[in-house]
Structure 1
Amino acid sequence: METQHYVVVTIGSAGDLFPFLALALALRARGHRVSFLAPEQHGPWVRPTGLPFTGLPADEAVLRDPDLWHPTRGFGVVWRATRPAMARIVPFIEALPREEPCTLLVHPLALPEADLCRVAHPGVKIAAAYLAPANLMTVHDPLMVGPWRVPAWVPLSARRAFWRWVGRRFIDPVALADVNAARTAHGLPPVPSLMDWIAAVPDVSLTLFPDWFAPTQPDWPQPLVRGDFPLFDPNADATLSADLQAFLQAGPPPLVFTHGTGNTQAAAYFRDAFAAATRLGRRAVFLTPHREQVPADLPPSMLWQDYVPLRALLPHAAALVHHGGIGTTAEALRAGAPQLVVPLAHDQFDNGARVTALGVAASLPATRLNERRLVRALGDLLGAPGLAERTRAVAGRFQPGAGIDRMCDVLTSRSRTPDAPPAPRFP
């Protein structure tokens, strides 16, 4: 087998980072050269693995932008915040030997720059890794548009027209000028619409979630390789802190509340969580690196922690209440923990709808959150008949490592795979 150079590029929070890190380490284990590009603040996670790491610029002020979590304006915030980092990809590839076999394994927001690399390095292959189903546009059911489910009776023609309108109204005004300016500078023709073009950029697309969570849709890009949740914990052997262990042993399983490591605007969420847990007479653990978001004076029945591996904590939890990030969602599914999803924006509404459809969760949009609704939602969730049996059944679907092996097989081989016709030509 010919050794290749895999250049792995991701952006975003730790939840975005860890699946790409799992793939990068699996490729290295097969004897390939792997370079890892990610926001500089993730260096402490990546550098201990020994992977060559290039830190990308990240404006952490974006975390304080209230529009970051807006259902329609959030894309613009993320796009503008990631462009300085994405601009580093092309120079990185230009510096590589042109004769070196190279594959770019990238987050979908890096695809415009990955396509430019074909000019700098004509033999480069591009693989896009999709973290969540909502990142792949479809007109088929189940279809969520932010917090709203599109009824099954809406015809496909109307759905296609809707997505074209979304592109013209919300996506192209934000991104298309940047994309086409860069393409013109590299001697490439402009593209008329980002949504119509970007899914066709990669040579192969990978889903970092299984088909039992989201079945393949007829209009998803091909060739497509179905993976699994590549759950990764850089501190897999870490034990719970002494304080947390003592807390867990002191009473019944607690509710665990988090709203994502990257959310600096969750003070109201934690106030409602505190009030609801108090009213329910439940013990609680609040997870956030931002201590100021959690009420200052917690009773002995409640505990704040800045970071705890969910793999270690969730088996001891009565339920997880969270934002619906795909990594957090998957960890709860694996642990067999009931979930109450409180989505804000991006893929979170769709993730919440999918775990609700599995019968292991409920969803309450963050815009509707208050103490009374949170109390009612938690009561309904935890009192649902058959909940424990359903969470155990879903947890039993996890096959550690199988999805990563399948994706690495495709990335490193010319062979056909059953779920990716026709075969992508790698290397």
Structure 2
Amino acid sequence: MKVIFVSIGSHGDVLPFIGLAAEMRRRSYEVLLAAPGHFETLATQARLPFHPLGSQADYDEAIADPNLWHPRKGATLLLGYALKLMPVVDAFLGQEAERGPILVVASTLSLGARIAQDRLGLDVITVHLAPFIFRSRHAPPIIPGVPLPRWLPNRLKHSIQLGAEKYVLNPVSLPAVNAYRAEFNLPAVDRLRTWWHSPQRIILMVPSWFAPPQEDWPHRTVQTGFPRVDTFGDAGTLSPSLAAFVEGGEPPLVFTYGSAMRQAGRFFETAVAICRRMGRRGVLLAPQNGQIPDNLPASVFRAAYAPLSALLPYSAGLIHHGGIGTVAEGLAAGVPQLIVPVAFDHFDEGERLRRLGIGMTLSRRRFTPSRASRCLNTLLHSATVAGACKEAKERTAQENGIKVCCGIIERFARRRTSPNTA
């Protein structure tokens, strides 16, 4: 049985699927990765067969829109990109199914995989990377653009979020989903955030100590550790110049705003000011040109990319947008984190770090040199924070999310190919 991994999104969404495909190939399975064409180079570096979903131009257009990083508008734009690829994914999987048995492992936004599952009866496992995906009346996630006070009862938060889903998320997505489903006489979908889970198996690649499972999550959900796969990115080790900088003085503060962000100029200007104000060295990770201030001081180093698993153990703290992959690397390194959330799951991840006593959150508006410096001084000099970071580091070291997830996939595949399976 061929295992096809389908992922739609940015680096943080696709890299875990590259890691999963590489591990399943190591276990002697035939694998194929399908992702936006932008990631073909990374797939080639990992020696994975690759099928592009859309062109580089499609991907560039999706992430170039500044509204992608708006708390409310971002979800609409990202869903629009996923909906555009929905028939592409469905047709691709249909062609693969004609060649022989396949098992599909699909990301949250791989909506075409759910179409193909309903249309063709394909075996599909949904893999989610963030607990934000799950609705819960007991522990509702924080929804961007819907600021609710912490003291509000959880059931009321849940009801408000259901209203936002009904009047915002579903109207944006369901007309296109149901129009496409109607072409194959499939019944209409009434709730996107219920339908996008596979009815066969759901995997959440987040440990239970970070996101405790809730009784109203789908019963077919299993959790693993974090998928720590940053070495599958643009470089597997630190560059000689960055390594020399890190080794040449006190542990630096690390600032990053994600791989796809194009509007981070103010964030990095503030980062430089923070380093000056605190008398600390800094590392700015920014793959896109035009975001870093000119004439950086010698105490601040700019790199397009660096694997955080190699950089953070030698750093003092991590300041970032709140992407789950970056959060996981910060936990693994045992460094305090300051979150400046943008959209999507960022607000929810920041709140989970706060509850663990590991991090703090500042809104983009309040992310100023003075406020950020006060927050960082609190995080860096607190014995309580240091103890929480140490505990998180020890917990993360005991996990291997990729191997556990692949074990689940492998057991599922064996059951589906067993002659005793009904």
TM-score by length of 2: 0.91
- SS of corresponding position for 1:87: helix
Task: Work out whether 1:9 is the aligned partner of 2:11.
Answer: no
4+ residue segments displaced more than 6 Å: none
2:396 aligns to what? 398
Alpha-carbon contact 1:273-1:374 (below 8 Å) kept: no
Mapped to 1, the partners of 2:37 and 2:213 lie a distance apart of 34
Name the structure with the higher helix share: 2
1:101 aligns to what? 101
Mapped to 1, the partners of 2:266 and 2:14 lie a distance apart of 27
What is the Cα deviation at residue 320 of structure 1? Answer: 0.8
Once the two structures are superposed, what CA deviation does each residue of 1:261-320 show, in whole Å capped at 9, x if it has no partner? 110000011111111111111111111012321110011111111111111111111111
1:56 aligns to what? 53
Alpha-carbon contact 1:6-1:32 (below 8 Å) kept: yes
Mapped to 2, the partners of 1:326 and 1:404 lie a distance apart of 15
In structure 2, relative to structure 1, the CA distance for the partners of 1:426 and 1:322 (3 Å cut) is farther
Name which of structure 1's ranges 243-252 and 212-221 shifts more when overlaid on structure 2: 243-252
What is the Cα deviation at residue 7 of structure 1? Answer: 1.3
User: In structure 2, which of residues 171, 174, 177 is the aligned counterpart of residue 173 of structure 1?
Assistant: 171
2:77 aligns to what? 77
Where does the alignment leave 5 or more consecutive residues of structure 1 unmatched?
Answer: 417-424
Mapped to 2, the partners of 1:145 and 1:237 lie a distance apart of 33
Mapped to 2, the partners of 1:84 and 1:184 lie a distance apart of 16
Name which of structure 1's ranges 70-79 and 320-329 shifts more when overlaid on structure 2: 70-79
Name which of structure 1's ranges 137-146 and 229-238 shifts more when overlaid on structure 2: 229-238
Amino acid at match of 1:403: G
What is the Cα deviation at residue 401 of structure 1? Answer: 6.0
What is the Cα deviation at residue 120 of structure 1? Answer: 5.2
Alpha-carbon contact 2:15-2:233 (below 8 Å) kept: no
Once the two structures are superposed, what CA deviation does each residue of 1:330-379 show, in whole Å capped at 9, x if it has no partner? 01110111111111110001111111211121111223222221122112
Mapped to 2, the partners of 1:64 and 1:104 lie a distance apart of 30
User: In structure 1, which of residues 181, 202, 205 is the aligned counterpart of residue 202 of structure 2?
Assistant: 205
Amino acid at match of 2:196: I
Amino acid at match of 2:86: M
Where does the alignment leave 5 or more consecutive residues of structure 2 unmatched?
Answer: 415-419
1:118 aligns to what? 117
Name which of structure 1's ranges 235-244 and 166-175 shifts more when overlaid on structure 2: 235-244
- SS of corresponding position for 1:118: helix
Amino acid at match of 1:266: A
What is the Cα deviation at residue 223 of structure 1? Answer: 0.8
- SS of corresponding position for 1:88: helix
Question: Alignment identity in percent?
Answer: 34
- SS of corresponding position for 1:128: strand
Mapped to 2, the partners of 1:206 and 1:414 lie a distance apart of 12
Mapped to 1, the partners of 2:238 and 2:404 lie a distance apart of 32
Alpha-carbon contact 2:257-2:286 (below 8 Å) kept: yes
- SS of corresponding position for 1:390: helix
Aligned residue pairs total 413
1:419 aligns to what? none
- SS of corresponding position for 2:383: coil
Once the two structures are superposed, what CA deviation does each residue of 1:84-125 show, in whole Å capped at 9, x if it has no partner? 3332211212213548332211111113x2232136533x11
TM-score by length of 1: 0.90
- 1:287-326 aligned at under 5 Å gives the runs 287-326=285-324
In structure 2, relative to structure 1, the CA distance for the partners of 1:284 and 1:79 (3 Å cut) is same
- SS of corresponding position for 2:139: coil
What is the Cα deviation at residue 153 of structure 1? Answer: 5.3
1:47 aligns to what? 44
